């Protein structure tokens, strides 16, 4: 979009065009890089006409220069051990997200900008930090309320198919947004669990030691989500590559409480190509790679219970 075309648009039309282009850019980047994007990638911005529009800035509420009054994005920085976060934003269980005011003054220009976005029902991007330097983008999100006493805005996610200025009545969209927000929160919690587990294993597959391609690593639960003890904590997780995650989930391999890998006996007898020999059969009786910190290592009691399922499969 050339400057002459930009100047021909009204401020509202330009605002919608920029947001639409920002959302399309993030969809493209997720296709290439997955749901979690690096701050370095996000900070490059996206092309719009003959200029580059930034997606985030050093402050949490960010308005690029091209926009007139309302911010394009909001950001919650990741938790870093030993460092307090400047604002404690909250993923609530009622389908709302609490996003704190900037500073103590409700009339700060950034708070005024978010308030205006709420009044005009304008979609935003919400970057949630899952680990240092990595963010999970949620879009579109809408500011749906404000708690002056809490010094916070209330935010909800919406369907990505609905990315323009909201035209529905609020009561018509609130149920859908609560549902979408809960789904997004579940995905966010999964990404946070994945990030913590893979970091604890120093970006290695615990079984085969694959290291160079973190995009091929998953965080596998030892005890599943539905189990009473199946919480998303590092001691209930394993950093596994895609192959060995699938093999673990399907009981092709099992992991003993002493961290020894066993391959199912019938699989050991099969004859096939090098992937079977080196990727599975060659791992029998090898030792698991575990985190350096003792409290992050797989819980032996969890492994024992899970290994019983493997024994039954054998």
Q: Encode pLDDT of 231-253 as tens digits.
A: 999 999 999 999 999 999 999 99
* Residue labelled with tokens 């919400």: 126
pLDDT recorded at residue 82? 66
Task: Report H helices in 163-205.
Answer: 170-200
pLDDT tens-digit readout, 89-135: 777 777 889 999 998 899 999 999 999 999 999 999 999 999 888 99
| Residue 191 backbone zone (phi > 0: left; psi -120 to 50: alpha; other: beta) | alpha
Task: Report H helices in the chain.
Answer: 3-8, 11-33, 39-43, 109-120, 170-200, 242-249, 265-268, 274-279, 300-313
pLDDT recorded at residue 298? 97
Task: Report H helices in 34-95.
Answer: 39-43
Mean pLDDT of 24-46: 93
With pLDDT > 90 as the criterion, what percentage of the chain qualifies? 64
- Show me where the domains of the chain are located: 3-198, 202-313
H or E element that contains 263: strand 261-263
Across the strands, what pairs with 253?
Answer: 263
Q: Angle at the Cα of 46 (from 177 to 192), degrees rounded to 5? A: 50
Across the strands, what pairs with 165?
Answer: none
Closest Cα to residue 166, out of 200, 197, 122?
Answer: 122
Burial class (CB in 10 A: 0-12, 13-18, 19+), 285: exposed
- For residue 293, give both structure tokens: 């910190």
pLDDT tens-digit readout, 124-148: 999 999 988 899 999 999 999 999 8
């Amino acid at each position: 979009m050339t400057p002459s075309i930009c100047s021909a648009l009204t401020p509202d039309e330009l605002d919608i065009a920029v947001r639409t282009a920002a959302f399309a850019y993030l969809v493209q980047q997720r296709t290439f890089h997955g749901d979690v994007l690096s701050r370095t990638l996000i900070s490059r911005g996206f092309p719009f006409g003959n200029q580059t529009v930034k997606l985030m800035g050093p402050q949490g509420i960010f308005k690029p220069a091209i926009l007139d009054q309302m911010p394009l994005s909001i950001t919650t920085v990741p938790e870093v051990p030993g460092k307090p976060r400047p604002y404690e934003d909250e993923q609530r269980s009622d389908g709302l997200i609490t996003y704190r005011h900037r500073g103590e003054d409700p009339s700060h220009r950034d708070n005024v900008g978010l308030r205006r976005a709420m009044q005009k029902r304008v979609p935003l991007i919400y970057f949630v930090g899952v680990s240092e330097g990595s963010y999970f983008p949620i879009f579109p999100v809408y500011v749906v309320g404000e708690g002056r006493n809490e010094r916070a805005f209330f935010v909800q996610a919406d369907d990505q198919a609905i990315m323009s200025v909201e035209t529905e009545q609020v009561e018509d969209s609130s149920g859908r947004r609560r549902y979408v927000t809960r789904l997004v929160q579940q995905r966010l919690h999964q990404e946070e669990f994945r990030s913590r587990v893979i970091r604890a294993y120093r970006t290695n597959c615990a079984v085969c030691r694959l290291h160079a391609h973190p995009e091929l690593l998953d965080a596998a639960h030892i005890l599943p989500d539905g189990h009473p003890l199946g919480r998303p904590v590092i001691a209930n997780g394993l950093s596994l590559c895609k192959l060995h995650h699938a093999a673990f989930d399907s009981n092709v391999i099992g992991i003993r409480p002493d961290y020894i890998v066993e391959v199912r006996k019938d699989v050991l007898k099969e004859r096939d190509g090098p992937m079977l020999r080196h990727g599975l059969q060659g791992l029998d009786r090898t030792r698991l790679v575990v985190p350096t910190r003792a409290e992050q290592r797989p819980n032996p009691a969890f492994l024992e219970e899970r290994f019983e399922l493997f024994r039954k499969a054998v």
